[in-house]
């Protein structure tokens, strides 16, 4: 039993470390920008993302924070305050300018519960994917993509 617990502890610690060094952003065929949260007003060049030292604690503000916690918002023009109390919200024109500047076709993100498991924003230039059905027992979301 002691061996099993120490082995489980080692596996758990290893997995935690792996999550700390996971990619913050992934690009697919240099056309799809994938992140957990969203965009940042601090992001001017992709090189800024590559320079973020890992592992690290997530700061309360700045590029790393925004990549994890910012949210699209149809009622926001430009950048806005986020009701979560961290990071920003961003509007459709921010999405369009980002895609144009960095030559991407689509932003793919997660981080928000969406009814059907996916939801488009900004004329289908951004998609939110959320794969946890019945999230926290509080939402009646599908949590999957229906083909």
Does residue 147 belong to any structural domain of this protein? no
Q: What is the pLDDT of residue 134?
A: 67
Residue 52 is part of a domain; what is its CATH number? 3.60.21.10
What is the predicted pLDDT for the residue at 104? 99
Q: pLDDT of 70-112, one tens digit each? A: 999 999 999 999 999 999 999 999 999 999 999 999 999 999 9
Residue 57 sits in which domain range? Answer: 1-8+24-137
Task: Choose among 137, 135, 147, 109: nearest CA to 24.
Answer: 109
Is there a domain that residue 19 lies in?
no
C-alpha 7/C-alpha 3 separation (Å) is 6
What does the pLDDT read at residue 144? 58
Q: What is the pTM of this model?
A: 0.84
Q: What pLDDT sits at residue 14?
A: 80
- Non-local CB neighbours of 115 within 8 Å, separated by 6+ positions: 140, 141, 142
Q: Is residue 96 part of a domain?
A: yes
Residues of the chain where predicted confidence (pLDDT) is lower than 70 = 134-138, 141, 143-147
Nearest to 54 by CA among 75, 25, 79, 83: 25
Q: Where is 92: in which H helix or E strand?
A: helix 92-102
- Within a domain: residue 50? yes
Q: Does residue 17 lie within any of the structural domains?
A: no
Number of domains composing the chain: 1
Quote the pLDDT of residue 135: 63
Q: Does any domain span residue 118?
A: yes
């Amino acid at each position: 039993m002691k061996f099993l617990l120490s082995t489980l502890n080692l596996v758990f610690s290893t997995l935690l470390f792996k999550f700390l060094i996971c990619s913050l952003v992934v690009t697919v065929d240099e056309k799809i920008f994938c992140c957990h949260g969203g965009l940042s007003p601090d992001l001017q060049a992709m090189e800024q993302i590559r320079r973020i030292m890992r592992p690290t604690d997530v700061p309360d503000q700045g590029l790393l924070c925004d990549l994890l916690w910012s949210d699209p918002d149809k009622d926001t023009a430009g950048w806005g305050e986020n009701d979560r109390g961290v990071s920003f919200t961003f509007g459709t024109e921010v999405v369009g300018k980002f895609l144009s500047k960095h030559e991407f076709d689509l932003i793919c993100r997660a981080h928000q519960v969406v009814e059907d498991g996916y939801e488009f924003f900004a004329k289908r230039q951004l998609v939110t994917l959320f794969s946890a059905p019945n999230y926290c027992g509080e939402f009646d979301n599908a949590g999957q993509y229906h083909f």
